[in-house]
Structure 1
Amino acid sequence: MATYGVAEAKNNFTHLLDRVQEGEKITITRHGKPIAELNPAPKLTVEERWALIDQLNERRKQRPPLGMSAAELVRSMRDGDPE
């Protein structure tokens, strides 16, 4: 796995994406500490993608309802309501 500092990664971003597309993993560091990792996207068939979407939908259905609309949630977060 190759490692690049932020500035070097920024200057070579297109080249790094080409390497990741070929299957290589790239770590990006700031002051010597890893902050991000570029990994190749998984190669999924259309059927596998739909199966993954179905799994996510099932997980979403198992979560309890929030009890408020998205707009109410954003307002609550913005206004600092304790809920």
Structure 2
Amino acid sequence: MSTTTTTTNRRRETTKSVQQHCFFCTHHIEEPDYKDVPLLGKFISSYKKIAPRRRSGLCAMHQRKLQQAIKRAREMALLPYVAE
């Protein structure tokens, strides 16, 4: 008893990804300041989680510095840890 299976090869549509440029590099900002809450808020989700690099578009160096600035701001109670 043989069974035949039909498989369809669905290819993902390849879309050209748009090159995102680092916000801090384009605005010539050396490193994000933990006291600049409105700027840090741009890189935090509605659940108050830090945005990943693929969403924020930052370079690796500025993503690390941004994470440290957000963590400092949370420690100083300038930013919340969780959403209300």
Q: Provide TM-score, normalisation by structure 2.
A: 0.27
Higher relative contact order (CA 8 A, sep 6+): 2
- Whose helix fraction is larger, Structure 1's or Structure 2's? 1
- Whose strand fraction is larger, Structure 1's or Structure 2's? 1
